Amino acid sequence: MRVIHSVHPDDFKAYQTALIRERFLIGKQVQPNEVNCTYTHYDRMIVGFANPVNQQLELPNYPNLRAEYFLERRETGIINVGGDGTITADGQSFELKKLDCLYIGKGTKRVTFSSNNEAEPAVFYMLSSSAHATHPTTLLTHADAVKVTLGAAATANHRTINKYIHLEGIKSCQLVMGLTILHEGSVWNTMPPHVHDRRMEAYFYFDVPEGQKVFHYMGEGEETRHITMDNYDAVVSPPWSIHAGSGTASYSFIWGMAGENLDYTDMDPIAIPDIK
């Protein structure tokens, strides 16, 4: 399992594009019949992917977790961004269509992934944070997620936010998770930008049309940087960094956080005129 270490904001100011990509980008991890995970030192968040095509995959136990099984001291949220699939957690099976979310609580010993049709395989995106309390495994469909529409076509940021794991939704210990779908013609997400010193965040970009890119913006509000993202790329964001993006076409992304606050609105906005 790859490990990403934390970066001080003063050091980040000297980073060139290649080093930003090395230290923050999690790319090319969706691979047929593989589970791939990255351990980050940002609130101990693990970013993972499972792409079962024609065989069942099992969530592995990695040596650096020093645990008897992956979720011994962890919880995880999983969102399907591909074809219909099935997740089985300690013998209980859950069917996930595209954009459905499954939360699996601490203490679950065995988790497996499979696709219902190998011609249209599931693509499961996972975020796992450390947990000190146990909450029940819960499925929430995209249709039942809390939805908030923000922005406007005139400012190219008309988008619908879908909340899954949060204070008023699926209960968790540390994890907050959901996804945002940009409306046709809009390309900006999370604009105006913000930071939140109490928790990290990870973005996962999907439904990026072939041949298109997303420009992901990072850094402190007064000294920003960017990297480009492809479909199925993820990126981690430290608490001191903005996290916003603009695409060459409309796209969707999954956001997820871990830290000391489950309140979705706990953020410190940065006014657009102050961005540099």
pLDDT tens-digit series, residues 11-63:
999 999 999 999 999 999 999 999 999 999 999 999 999 999 999 999 999 99
- Mean pLDDT (the chain) is 96
Which distant-in-sequence residues (6+ apart) come within 8 Å of 63 by Cβ?
Answer: none
Tokens of 53: 């095509």
Total number of domains constituting the chain: 1
C-alpha dihedral (250, 247, 255, 102), degrees to nearest 10 = 40
Q: What is the pLDDT of residue 191?
A: 87
Phi, psi of 247 (to 5 degrees): -115, 165
**pLDDT surpasses 80 at 185:** yes
Q: Which residue has the tokens 């993006």?
A: 245
- The CATH number given to whatever domain includes residue 77 is 2.60.120.10
Structural domain span for residue 174? 2-274
| Structure letter (DSSP) for residue 24 | H
Residue type, 126: M
Do 59 and 1 meet the contact criterion of CB atoms below 8 Å apart?
no
Indicate the pLDDT class of residue 82, thresholds 50, 70 and 90. very high
- Distance in angstroms between the alpha carbons of the first and the last residue of the chain: 36
pTM above 0.85, yes or no: yes
Q: What is the pLDDT of residue 259?
A: 84
Q: What is the pLDDT of residue 261?
A: 74
Tokens of 237: 């964001």
Mean pLDDT of 236-260: 95
Do 105 and 131 meet the contact criterion of CB atoms below 8 Å apart?
yes
Closest CA to 189 of 164, 176, 206, 174: 206
Q: What proportion of the chain, given as a percentage, has pLDDT over 90?
A: 92
Q: What is the pLDDT of residue 267?
A: 84
Q: What is the pLDDT of residue 238?
A: 96
Indicate the pLDDT class of residue 168, thresholds 50, 70 and 90. confident
Do 238 and 246 meet the contact criterion of CB atoms below 8 Å apart?
no
| Structure letter (DSSP) for residue 170 | B
Within the chain, what is the greatest distance between any pair of CA atoms?
Answer: 53
Closest CA to 4 of 202, 213, 215: 202
pLDDT tens-digit series, residues 102-145:
999 999 999 999 999 999 999 999 999 999 999 999 999 999 99
SS3 98: coil
